[in-house]
Amino acid sequence: DPGSGSLLKVENIIVRFGGILALNSVSFDVRPGEICALIGPNGAGKSTLFNCLSRLYECDSGSITFNGHKLRSLRRHRIAEIGIGRTFQNLALFRSMTVRENVLMGCHSRHHAGFLRNAFRLPGAARIEAAARARADDLIDFLQLAEYAERVVADLPFGTQKRVELARALASDPQLLLLDEPACGLNHEELEGLGVLIRDIRDRLKVTVLLVEHHMGLVMSISDRVVALNFGKKIAEGTPAEVRMHPEVIRAYLGE
Ligand code: ADP
Ligand code: MG
């Protein structure tokens, strides 16, 4: 159904940690092709929601549907295979390996995908390896990492490591990319580049983006839609302008 419906549908998700209701019946949709931001003060439940989407946490109730798949009944390793990629706030990289090796690992996390199966008419493993190498090269260029490709990740500046993390997450050819605080730790110049990059990921790679982000300037400048959480509940949803002016959002950020 082109141009309509939702790619991701979150319905009445509840997550408890002991006495804490980390998510209290949260529902929202992510539509194909959009950049959607999830905001809220510390402890609002943003990371918990991301962890449910990537099957790191179990929900107590509710349903999550991605492209016809019921996420709650899928094993964790299937998440990349069905087309969800994610980055981690603290980076999920192999620090002693090179940039290229890290991106290649990401490519192999979805080796059942059509892009590798059909890419070349080579037999078996050689075909998959060649397709993975070609994809890694493309992503290294896309993220302007060519000059660092053979460098060990641990030796690179943090902002560059974050681009490697993006390349790793994109390597599995996701339809939906989950970004957990992509602006965190970046300097002013890197921040401007990040906004352009996230738009390029959507426009050129045709990847739908859901991001958790504290940097309001970035959220307001790149998002099509914003969902605001506070104390595990959705308090507002709409365009960046609508959500920024919403009384509950203002109250939540003033910490009343
Ligand atoms: P945010 O990412 O919006 O800052 P979190 O999702 O990390 O918020 O946390 C939401 C609430 O759930 C907080 O009260 C937090 O302490 C609690 N919480 C999150 N993860 C766990 C966990 N693994 N064990 C216990 N409590 C948790
Ligand atoms: Mg968090």
43 CA distance to ligand 2 centroid (A)? 7
Do residue 140 and residue 40 come from a single domain? no
Q: Atom 19 of ligand 1 has which residue's CA nearest to it?
A: 48
212 CA distance to ligand 2 centroid (A)? 8
ipTM of the complex: 0.98
Per-residue pLDDT, averaged over 34-63, amounts to: 94
Per-residue pLDDT, averaged over 146-162, amounts to: 95
**Domain coverage including residue 127:** 84-173
Q: Atom 5 of ligand 1 has which residue's CA nearest to it?
A: 45
Mean pLDDT across the chain: 89
Percentage of residues in the chain with pLDDT exceeding 90? 72
Do residue 90 and residue 167 come from a single domain? yes
Tell me the whole-structure pTM to 2 decimals.
Answer: 0.90
43 CA distance to ligand 1 centroid (A)? 6
Per-residue pLDDT, averaged over 151-173, amounts to: 93
Residues around ligand 2, an ion, CB closer than 5 A: 47
Give the ligand 1 atom nearest the CA of 57. Answer: 23
Instruction: Indicate which CATH number applies to the domain containing 114.
Output: 3.40.50.300
Candidates 17, 178, 211: which one to mutate for ligand 1, based on the most atoms within 8 Å of Cβ? Answer: 17
CB 1: neighbour CB atoms within 10 A? 6
Is the pLDDT at 126 greater than 80? The verdict is no
Rounded to whole angstroms, how far apart are CA atoms 8 and 124? 33
pLDDT score recorded for residue 1: 40
Is the pLDDT at 245 greater than 90? The verdict is yes
Tens digit of pLDDT for each residue in 64-104? 999 999 999 898 888 988 999 998 877 788 888 999 999 99
Do residue 89 and residue 151 come from a single domain? yes
Do residue 124 and residue 162 come from a single domain? yes
Q: Which residues line ligand 1 (CB under 6 A)?
A: 17, 20, 22, 40, 42-48
33 CA distance to ligand 1 centroid (A)? 29
Do residue 192 and residue 229 come from a single domain? yes
213 CA distance to ligand 2 centroid (A)? 9
Structurally, the chain folds into a number of domains equal to: 2
pLDDT score recorded for residue 256: 55
